[in-house]
Amino acid sequence: MNNLQRNLLLGLLGPALWVQGQYVRRVTPRLPEPPGPRSGSCGQGPQLRLLIAGDSAAAGVGADSQAQALSGQLVEQLAQHFTVSWQLAAVTGHDSPALYALLEELPAQAFDVVVLSIGVNDVTALRSPRAWIAWQRKLAELIRARFHPDLIVHNAVPPMHAFTALPQPLRWYLGRWAREMNRQLAADVKKHAYRVLHSPQMDRPSEGLASDGFHPGPVGYAVWAESLHQHIVSARR
């Protein structure tokens, strides 16, 4: 979907999308970020310094604890292969500019792998894919300068066309927007050996959602963590 098509669809569907967006904000449960540690060290084997950064999905919204969220499940699996020193820097509602500001404030230090989860709030803000890609480049440049990782893992924008909290046609429209972001990101990361795109797959993505129909639940986080763990282990060999 190019810019002209997006603008035409927005012009045609704009009033309905606005009404549906307001409805979703009003009725969707606001789940909290779960309690639990946001940094630590565990495991055995070669050292792996890990930073997980991003939005509410990175923060674990939809899980009852950080142990059930992405950070807890990913670190537990990586600890079978590495001594993992890890940190979570994530805030509900953050889009790409807000994440950039958050990472600017984080003390400069060395990480081997940085995992990014960002994009849903850029989609809901209708940030264009071209502008979003520019922000992903800026994030990668900042991360390389401050944290010196060997690998930056960009997680794909999740399948918003499967978010049950979103009514149609809003779900369809935002899903197309997210897919276009991922298409452009897949092409962009190929320009740099230290950047990769990770796209966890589920046969029925809606089954991995939390009760709000918008965030992952423990099952969704488990699938994501397992897939991401395999990706990181393979890259570190």
Mean pLDDT of 33-62: 97
pLDDT in tens, 172-230: 989 999 999 999 999 999 999 999 999 988 778 888 999 999 999 999 999 999 999 99
Query: pTM to 2 decimals?
Result: 0.90
pLDDT surpasses 80 at 28: no
Position 20 pLDDT exceeds 90: no
Report which of 64, 88, 81, 159 is spatially closest to residue 119, judged by C-alpha positions. 159
Radius of gyration of the chain (CA): 17
pLDDT at 12 over 50: no
Decide: 51 and 111 in contact? Cβ < 8 Å. yes
How far apart are the C-alpha atoms of 151 and 14, rounded to whole Å? 40
pLDDT confidence of 26, banded at 50, 70, 90?
A: confident
**Confidence check: pLDDT of 19 > 60:** no
Across all residues in the chain, what is the average pLDDT?
Answer: 91
In this prediction, residue 3 carries a pLDDT of: 60
Nearest-angstrom CA–CA distance, 177 and 101 = 24
Question: What's the angle, vertex CA 189, arms to CA 173 and CA 192, rounded to 5?
Answer: 170
User: 203 or 3: whose pLDDT is higher?
Assistant: 203
With beta carbons less than 8 A apart as the criterion, state whether 83 and 46 touch: yes
Q: Domain residues of the chain, as ranges?
A: 3-29+39-236
Question: Per-residue pLDDT tens for 65-95?
Answer: 999 999 999 999 999 999 999 999 999 999 9
Beta bridge mates, 63: 61
**DSSP conformation class of 167:** P
pLDDT at 14: 57
pLDDT at 7 over 60: no
Higher-pLDDT residue of 133, 203: 133
Alpha-carbon span 236 to 113, nearest angstrom: 9
Tell me if residue 28 falls in helix, strand or coil: coil
Per cent of the chain over pLDDT 70 is 90
Higher pLDDT, 23 or 45: 45
Q: What is the CATH number of domain 3-29+39-236?
A: 3.40.50.1110
What stretches of 79-210 show up as alpha helix (H) in DSSP? 96-105, 120-124, 129-147, 170-189
What is the side-by-side order of every strand in the sheet holding 195-198?
39-43, 83-90, 47-54, 113-117, 151-155, 195-198
Local structure of 199: helix, strand or coil: coil
Per 3-state DSSP, the chain is made up of helix, strand and coil in percentages (nearest 5) of 50, 15, 35
